[in-house]
Amino acid sequence: MNYNRIRDKEDDDTPLSGIFTEAQRQDIRKKLEEFQDKHKKYIPTEEKKTEEKKERLIPFLNDQTYRKEFTHKSYPTELDEIPHIMLLRTHIWPYIINQQSITIAELQFLAEKSGIEGTCINTSTNQLLILNGDFPKGGHINKISFYLKQDMHNSETVIIKELLFHSN
């Protein structure tokens, strides 16, 4: 049978093979709707339960809000859950607490080892050096600033005076 020919009016009664008539389409649609209705009956719908939030002693890290900037002295210990911040504390905290001198190259190395990227050094008005860096893997903290003062005994080393965390 030639499918490319135009059907005549008298030929309308005999359908082409592989092509459904409108009556067949309606029957198929009706049958599919019956299957759909049966399927909906068997699938239990989940009822949305509104549970009240349980009060926790320590809220989730994502639910907490932080100040835009805070120093190492007011550091919230919940941030230790973020691995790169814990690394930063492990590498840098002894130099801050003990006021030990360190070269800028060593400090940059420890900062990069902790996950701080794009470090740059600026000078401020009160003879302090500022080492800034981005902290992409720091969770809520996206930038860190080290305030450095040159060591009086050795001009090549610095002492970390302040560590400032910048959050989103």
pLDDT tens across 79-134, in order?
777 778 788 888 888 898 899 999 999 999 998 888 888 888 888 767 788 889 99
Q: Tens digits of per-residue pLDDT, 146-167?
A: 999 988 888 889 999 988 888 8
Average pLDDT over residues 137-147: 83
DSSP secondary structure string for all residues of 63-91: G----SEEESTT--GGGGGSHHHHHHHHH
- 53 within a domain of the structure (yes/no): no
Q: What are φ and ψ of residue 37, in 5° steps?
A: -65, -40
pLDDT of residue 127: 77
Query: Are the beta carbons of 89 and 144 closer than 8 angstroms?
Result: no
In a domain, 32, yes or no: no
Q: Is residue 94 part of a domain?
A: yes
Q: What is the number of domains present in the chain?
A: 1
The per-residue pLDDT for range 10-57, each reduced to its tens digit, is 455 555 667 888 899 899 999 988 888 877 776 665 655 555 555 666
Distance CA 61, CA 142 (A): 15
Residue length of the chain: 168
Q: Is 163 exposed, middle or buried (0-12, 13-18, 19+ CB in 10 A)?
A: buried
Distance (Å) of CA 133 to CA 42, 126, 166 = 57, 20, 10
pLDDT for residue 139 is more than 60: yes
Residue 88, domain member (yes or no): yes
Confirm whether 100 is domain-assigned: yes
Residue 153 is assigned to a structural domain of this protein? yes
Three-class SS of residue 122?
A: strand
Range of the domain at 131: 61-167
